[in-house]
Chains A and B, each alone.
Chain A
Amino acid sequence: MANYSSNEFKSGLKVMLEGDPCSMVDVEFVKPGKGQAFTRVRMKNLKSGRVWDRTFKSGESIEAADVMDLNMEYLYTDGEFWHFMLADGTFEQYGADASAVGDCIKWLKEQEVYVVTLWNDAPISVMAPNFVDLEVTETDPGLKGDTAQGGSKPAILATGATVRVPLFIEQGEFLKIDTRSGEYVSRA
């Protein structure tokens, strides 16, 4: 792969750091009036998700990472791998392991499209769309007429995720969930 020099750094750039693929979240040129120039980068490890600040000397260069974000449809799991299919019409399939799927497992729904990050052609992370519609599989019976305000109860969704929902929600309903906060938004 190519190398990037510090003056080419910009947010979104994917690079290799200590053997792991990382993404630059934010890049800042730091230069005291009478001191040496540095480039300060907020870096995200794409495998572990860890975000931290790393500083580079001016002119320092690092290796580019062969990383791609692709839209893929979730198909099924065999218990060991979660299988996705490219949403570009090629039907090419990829199996992501538990560490790549990570927290996204709570929001995996068949036929929904996810962003799968490939490193050297293998999935390393899966990101859910901001909103998914999921069925309530288990919750206490709804309280009729209590639609105005206040009160919430836990509900278990088809994916196994538990979210707080208003008291009027019934088992079997489909709900719109914000996957970033894990919160109920509305009935779907």
Chain B
Amino acid sequence: MPWQPSANIHLLKQRAKVINQLRIFFAARDVLEVDTPVMSHYGVSDPHIDSIPVTFTADGTSVGKPMYLMSSPEYAMKRLLAAGSGCIYQISKAFRNGEAGRRHNPEFTLLEWYRVDFDLQQLMQEVASLVDMVLENDQLEWHFWSYRQAFENILNIDPLTATDEVIRSTALAHIDIQMQDSTPTDTWLDLLMSHCIEPKLPKACFIYNYPPSQAALSRIVEDERGDRVARRFEVYVNGMELANGYHELTQAQEQERRFALDNQARQAMGKAPMAADLRLINALQNGMPSCSGVALGIERLLMLTTGENDIAKVMAFNHPLA
């Protein structure tokens, strides 16, 4: 049985240094560090994220209560925002079932932060500053492309107005895959994004204004051409997804609707529905301040700073060695 770490010790020192830099970054900006539960009564409803279930037993008997390891601290941090915490950040472990590969480990480290009264543009600038700080001497030239621009620039189609048939045939022209005709358009868009667009993005690029069907927990607004878009962004460096952010949804009723939509999608995919986190709904009803928030994968950031292309090399023990 191999017992040695998957990262070398020098790299773990770099890791510790980066995490220290992040704490200094947020302290200087008066953002409060918080710590929310990793184990929760509610899992995430996102149709493409699977929480890892665990069983809590009050007295050690076999009859247990199902709980979940958190896929992100988002719900709990929003409850803190609703309780008046002001700007907050957290460096925590996150867990996602079924995600293992060169860029994925089922247990990983997320940096998640929320900025009260920030709009999406302000938060994107702050993410760029944070990455620049960590990269030190390797300053990036940041590009800001809308989701539409990315598709127009690279594939010459408008993802917001193209018919489902055009999107599907574009994907099939570029990607060798067998899919059912009933495959949702968002899946075809994901395929185009990961196979055709990511490899051709500028070295450092924000993608913002997603199709409303991919809003997740972001606000939906009208863009400059009058199309509905989700105020969500993703950060890509060297074609690798680094972070995902939102101008956050604050309406309780719309949040409930999104939970219901997620569960419809889950059921269509043959997945079990996830109970809506009523504590989050109640917090939103009480009132959450207008804010933007983002989650950034610490291991991905370390892969970037160290030039490693396997996530195993930037964490002490990767999944097979855990």
* Residues on A facing B (Cβ under 8 Å): 7, 28-38, 40, 52-58, 60
For the complex of A and B, list the 9 residue pairs with the smallest distance between their C-beta atoms, beginning with the closest: A29-B101, A35-B190, A55-B177, A54-B176, A33-B244, A30-B194, A36-B187, A36-B48, A34-B216
Interface centre among B49, B175, B177, B244 (most CB of A within 10 A): B177
Q: Who on chain B is nearest to A27 by CB?
A: B101
Q: Are A53 and B176 touching (Cβ within 8 A)?
A: yes
Question: 20 additional contacts, CB 8 Å, given A33-B234, A57-B177?
Answer: A30-B101, A30-B194, A31-B48, A31-B99, A31-B104, A32-B190, A32-B193, A32-B194, A33-B244, A34-B214, A34-B216, A35-B187, A35-B194, A36-B187, A37-B48, A37-B98, A38-B177, A38-B191, A55-B176, A60-B178
Give Cα A32–Cα B178 distance, bound, in whole angstroms. Answer: 19
The number of residues on chain B lying at the interface, defined by a beta carbon within 8 Å of a beta carbon of chain A, is 27
B8 → chain A closest CB, angstroms: 24
Across-interface contacts of B176 in A (CB, < 8 A): 52-55
Give Cα A36–Cα B98 distance, bound, in whole angstroms. Answer: 11
Q: Who on chain A is nearest to B184 by CB?
A: A36
Q: Are B191 and A55 touching (Cβ within 8 A)?
A: yes
B102 proximal to A (CB < 8 A): yes
Mask for B96-133, Cβ within 8 A of A = 1, else 0? Answer: 00111111100000000000000000000000000000
Give Cα A75–Cα B72 distance, bound, in whole angstroms. Answer: 63
Q: Are B177 and A29 touching (Cβ within 8 A)?
A: no
Chain B contacts with A in 206-247, Cβ cutoff 8 A: 214, 216, 234, 241, 244
Across-interface contacts of B190 in A (CB, < 8 A): 32, 35-36
B248 proximal to A (CB < 8 A): no
Q: Are A29 and B194 touching (Cβ within 8 A)?
A: no
Give Cα A165–Cα B291 distance, bound, in whole angstroms. Answer: 71
Knowing A36-B190, A38-B191, A57-B177, say if A29 contacts B241 (CB, 8 Å). no
Knowing A34-B216, A35-B186, say if A55 contacts B99 (CB, 8 Å). no
Across-interface contacts of A33 in B (CB, < 8 A): 234, 241, 244
Across-interface contacts of A7 in B (CB, < 8 A): 98
A41 → chain B closest CB, angstroms: 10
